[in-house]
Structure 1
Amino acid sequence: MKLTINHKSQVPLHLQAEELVRKLINDPQFKDGKLLPNEVELARQLGISRTTLRQALNKLVYEGLLIRKKGVGTKVADMPVSSKSNNWLSFSQEMQARGIAIKNFELHVSWVYPDDKIAAFFEISTDQKILKLERLRGRMEGPFVYFVSYFHPRIGLTGEEEFRRPLYEILEADHHVIAQLSKEEISAKAADKFIAAKLEIEPDSPILFRKRFVFDQSDKPIEYNLGYYKADSFVYTVESRKE
């Protein structure tokens, strides 16, 4: 794509540059995480300074259209994944329903002693081990969510299950436990070093933090779930209807 700026125009150079980069964003060649031309090359091609170009790029980064990684470059952001709260499913089922291919980048199973908060939720003692499932998940080009799930020992999970299958499908088909009710708490927070490393972002970057408390048909607790989402990759939508 040929990019040119009209230096005789009354439109400021940084606004012209912004409009041209918007056209690049919609160019199919820059989809799927391919990097844009580096700033030096792009500024030279447009005949403007890097400062002027940076002003345009910063605006698009702020809008969430571009992602800039230090030492790597600038690429077009994926469209954020959206979740609607009035029809909750397991993450795998939800993404499958939306036609989004999901990859497991990490999957770890362990047996741990619950802390006071988790033990209180499950109504068990802190000296009773429970199964902990950690999963780093995302699109093919990179992770955008880190999940940590704890399960009530009553369910009977062994840790040998094929956790690449949809979670609630495993609970229902293999252990006859039906997830019926979900209560959630959602907040914004800064990523600590551990979460930042998992999500491939800078420490203190904003993330969406979601706690999910899942109950069976008898309102007995079955799962305590923590989800850490990249802020530029996930939108949580709440739909309410007045009866």
Structure 2
Amino acid sequence: MLTHPTLDMLRDLGLHGMARAFQDLDVQAEARALDHGEWLAILLDHEATLRRQKRFEARARAARLRHDAQVEDVDFRAERGLDRSLFLKLASCDWIRQRHGLLLTGPAGVGKSWLACALGHKACRDDFSVAYHRAPRLFAALALARGDGRYARMLKALARTDLLILDDWGPEKLNDEQRRDLLEIIEDRYERRSIIVTSQVPVERWYEIIGNPTIADAILDRLVHNAYRIELTGESMRKQRPIPAPETALT
């Protein structure tokens, strides 16, 4: 068998998964009993798996998630009011396919950001584009972009993302520019793309955070409509972490 020319051709064509599988099969005695169709199926399966992995890695890098969180690692035993069945339903990512939203509220330290990042990580694995932003930094970045001509381009990039995670929203009231920015973001995503918003402030108080009644009505009507809600309770989970023992001084 012309192993090397075949490998070179596969690599030249960018079929690195097939090349790797071909190389592995070629040294396995039992693989010689496979017919051509079975060989081809194995090679194609390896190529598809490698490409999925590369797409996931690229999406995960682009998402810039705050936590390296996995939905499989969620602690449902913690007393914070997390509905197991609802969260597992969200982990399927069907709500993203249906272009719904998620509002995640609760006091500091109960795991809002971690859960949002876990869902974001799962979305990357399911081949959705994800972008994570802390709300204060996003508003600051938009203010800078407005001044140097990047504003429209930045909004367009946000609008194209399948899942936008807007973390740590509130409790400070929005100013005029931030209100308009938030309206633009929500308007671009309404019934087109999904969003997760996390906040220490209950949804019922978001109206007063936005400030302007007309803009608040427009934002909340689009944001709350068709959105799932997770309202966490309890004490900060950070208090439950063991304090690491101090390192022994060298003598």
Higher helix share: 2
TM-score, normalised relative to structure 2: 0.25
Higher strand share: 1
Structure with max Cα Rg: 2
TM-score, normalised relative to structure 1: 0.25
Q: Which structure is richer in relative contact order (CA contacts within 8 A, separation 6 or more)?
A: 2
